[in-house]
């Protein structure tokens, strides 16, 4: 049995349909003209004739209408504000191990933040001490050269 290479080719998913249309067209070409006309008349219903659309549309007329009952207030009165229902997360049972893990993660973040702030303060203090004590050839900005 021979397998065509186009059978598994998915670069064009319409290949099977195109092959059938091609086969249908070859069969139609081989038929006598009278039989071909009859078959096409059966398969394809006559297209309804539609009138062409006008190139220029008629102008739109704006009309002002006097309303006797309207007092100039809001047109649509809303009784109550629209309720917006958002889905809420249903909290189920959380095992104690997970609680410890979450607590550890939070504690790690707090310690990191605290260490960062302390390091920043320590570096600032160190810079101030270096400015005051050490003599320099070229002093730092803001420092007095000795």
Task: Please check whether residue 76 lies inside any domain of the structure.
Answer: no
Q: For 8-30, how does the pLDDT look when each residue is reduced to its tens digit (9 = 90+)?
A: 656 777 778 888 888 888 888 89
Task: Please check whether residue 62 lies inside any domain of the structure.
Answer: no
Task: Please check whether residue 74 lies inside any domain of the structure.
Answer: no
Task: Please check whether residue 50 lies inside any domain of the structure.
Answer: no
Q: What is the pTM (predicted TM-score) of this model?
A: 0.31
How many domains does the chain contain in total?
Answer: 2
Q: How far apart are CA 130 and CA 135, in angstroms?
A: 9
Most confident of 35-39, 52-56, 69-73, 75-79: 35-39
Residue with tokens 């209408």: 65
Task: Please check whether residue 78 lies inside any domain of the structure.
Answer: no
| SS3 of the chain | CCCCHHHCCCCCCCHHHHHHHHHHHHHHHHCCHHHHHHHHHHHCCCCCCCCCCCCCCCCCCCCCCCCCCCCCCCCCCCCCCCCCCCCCCCCCCCCHHHHHHHHHHHHHHHHHHHHHHHHHHHHHHHHHHHHHHCCCCCCCCCCCCC
Q: For 98-131, how does the pLDDT look when each residue is reduced to its tens digit (9 = 90+)?
A: 999 999 999 999 999 999 999 999 999 988 887 7
Task: Please check whether residue 142 lies inside any domain of the structure.
Answer: yes
- DSSP designation for 61: -
Task: Please check whether residue 10 lies inside any domain of the structure.
Answer: no
Task: Please check whether residue 27 lies inside any domain of the structure.
Answer: yes
Q: Could you tell me the residue range of the domain that residue 33 belongs to?
A: 15-45
pLDDT at residue number 50: 62
Q: For 61-100, how does the pLDDT look when each residue is reduced to its tens digit (9 = 90+)?
A: 777 777 777 677 766 666 777 778 888 877 788 899 999 9
């Amino acid at each position: 049995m021979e397998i065509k290479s186009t059978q598994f080719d998915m670069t064009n998913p319409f290949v099977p349909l195109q092959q059938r249309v091609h086969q249908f067209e070859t069969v139609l070409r081989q038929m006598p003209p009278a039989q071909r006309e009859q078959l096409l008349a059966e398969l394809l219903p006559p297209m309804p004739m539609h009138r062409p659309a006008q190139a220029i549309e008629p102008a739109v007329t704006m009309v002002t209408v006097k309303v006797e009952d309207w007092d100039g207030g809001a047109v649509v009165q809303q009784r109550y504000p629209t309720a917006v229902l958002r889905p809420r997360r249903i909290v189920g049972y959380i095992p104690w191990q997970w609680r410890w893990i979450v607590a550890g993660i939070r504690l790690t973040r707090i310690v990191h933040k605290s260490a960062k702030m302390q390091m920043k303060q320590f570096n600032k203090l160190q810079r101030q001490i270096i400015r005051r004590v050490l003599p320099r050839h070229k002093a730092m900005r803001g420092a007095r050269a000795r």
